[in-house]
Structures are given as structure tokens and as C-alpha cells.
Amino acid sequence: MSSVEAGKRFAQYCSVGRTSHEFTNPHRARNRRQSWPRQEHRAETRRTVADSSTFPAFADQLRQTLKTHWQRERINFLVNNAGIGIRAGFAATTEAQFDELVNIHFKGAFFLTQTLLPLIADGGRIVNLSSGLARFSLPGYAAYAAMKGAMEVLTRYMAKELGPRGIAANIVAPGAIETDFGGGEVRDNAQLNAGIASQTALSRVGLPDDIGGVIAALLSPESGWINGQRIEVSGGIFL
């Protein structure tokens, strides 16, 4: 799904700061609306998740931004939601396509989270993004789905190894969502949209709001005991 559209919905639910890596900074709960960063503050903390060499500089900028604009040293939540879609069959996938998917969907999330660990508060939360394609198989998504499967395994290891700090890690696996992901095909191709809806128990394709609310729920105080779990949000596709 589109990281931009899902991020917007998630931010609307949480009223928190957002970057292309989806780091979130809730500030005090009662002041969340007031602590929404101005656009120029958000721009200061943007980096490409595909290039792990930029992560130390990103962490430094984030540390300074937290201190300057929010008078704090830690973030509470990290949502690894950056992503792209490349549709290519197993036999046709190029090494360049594979590397791009690895860098964004797996290596980027792995090393960005590692780099930001000193900035994540004890008792914080990490939410990663997977895909329904890690459970069921459709032609053209072998490499993409493999990265998402890797993220599901990594999430369990995060939950185990960060548990002593009270940091919970979970992964959300959306089904097909009406966004601009993959060129907006699910949203704009009526035949494809209807076909997916026919295979979904709730008889429709997902919307960004369906995902944002789940991520926000995982970051709420009431969900603190959920850890190391894969949560599929697909309306019951291919049951």
C-alpha cells in the first residue's frame, strides 16, 4: 500500500509528527494536537530509507529536532511504513529490482530501527508493515513478498530482543488497499477492484482508513500487552 496515504491516515488518528520513515513523536497525550510539527520541521527530518548510509545523519537531525522543537530526547513510536511496489515474475525479476526491494523493505527497516534504538524510549512501540502476500501467493510478487516475510521474522526477533527495555514490536499485514501503490491499480482498475472484492469475506477492497486505525490502536496504552504478533488487516481475503 502507499506509505504516504497510509501515513496520512495514521497521523490523522494519532495526531503525531510524521516522516517518510514514519517516526512518530506523540509528545504528551493531552497536547497532541498542539504538538503537531509545522511543515518546515517535518522537512528537516526526511531521508531516503533506501540508503542506509544516511541513517546516522538522520538520527542526529532527529535528535536535534526533538530537542529544539519538542524539548525532549526520545520518541515513543517507530512505524516502518516506507515501501514501493515492483511487479515482476520470479523468472523475470532483475538483480537491480531485487536490490531495490531489499534496500527499502528489509535492509532499510532493519538498520533504521537499529540506528534509532537509542532514541526510542523504554516502553515504546515499533510497528512494521508486511503484506497479505506473505500469507498467500499471487504471480508477480515473489521478491516483494519475500521481503515482507523477512520483516515478519525480524519483528519477532525485535520483540524478543527489545523486550527487556519494555519495547513491543508488532507487524501489520494489509491486504489490497485503494491507494496509489503500484500506480493506483487496485483503486483505479474497476475490474481488478471487483475481482479482489469477490475474494474478500467483507466483500470490498480495503481503504487507507482501515489500516491507519489499526496502527493507531497498536500504539495505544490499551494494546501494550500485544507483542511479536502479525496482524492481518485484509477484510478476510482468500480465507
* 36-49 average pLDDT score: 50
- Mean pLDDT value of segment 132-142: 95
pLDDT tens digits for range 208-237: 999 999 999 999 999 999 999 999 999 999
Instruction: pLDDT band for 49, please (50, 70, 90 cuts).
Output: confident
On the question of pLDDT at 175 being above 80, the answer is: yes
Nearest to 128 by CA among 211, 207, 59, 53: 211
Query: Cα separation of 46 and 65, whole Å?
Result: 11
- 73-92 confidence digits (pLDDT tens): 999 999 999 999 899 999 99
What single-letter amino acid sits at 87? R
What's the pLDDT band for 159 if we cut at 50, 70, 90?
very high
Catalytic residue among 107, 131, 141, 234: 131
Catalytic residue among 13, 130, 141, 234: 130
Give the pLDDT score at 180: 87
What CATH superfamily classification does 3-233 receive?
NAD(P)-binding Rossmann-like Domain (3.40.50.720)
Asked if residue 36 has pLDDT above 50, the reply is: no
- Among the options 35, 52, 148, 234, which is catalytic? 148
Let me know if 157 is a catalytic residue. no
Place of cell 501515513: 7
- The mean pLDDT value of the chain amounts to 85
Task: Check the CA dihedral 85-91-94-95 and report its sign.
Answer: positive
Q: Coil, strand or helix: which one is 64?
A: helix
pLDDT in tens, 60-70: 999 999 999 99
* pLDDT class of 40 with cuts at 50, 70, 90: very low
Q: Is 130 a catalytic residue?
A: yes
pLDDT of residue 79: 97
Q: Is the pLDDT of residue 21 over 80?
A: no
Distance between CA atoms of 155 and 129, rounded to whole angstroms?
A: 10
Mean pLDDT of the region 100-107:
96
Whether the predicted pLDDT of 14 surpasses 50: no
Identify whether 148 is a catalytic site residue: yes
Q: Cβ distance 45 to 62 under 8 Å?
A: yes
Question: Cα(first)–Cα(last) distance of the chain, in Å?
Answer: 20
Cα–Cα nearest to 175, from 202, 143, 142, 156:
202
The burial of 230, by beta-carbon neighbours within 10 Å (0-12 exposed, 13-18 middle, 19 or more buried), is given as middle
pLDDT band at 47 (very low <50, low <70, confident <90, very high): low
The catalytic position among 35, 107, 144, 234 is 144
Distance CA 124, CA 58 (A): 19
Closest CA to 8 of 36, 44, 45: 36
* pLDDT given at position 48: 77
Is it the case that residue 12 has pLDDT exceeding 60?
Answer: no
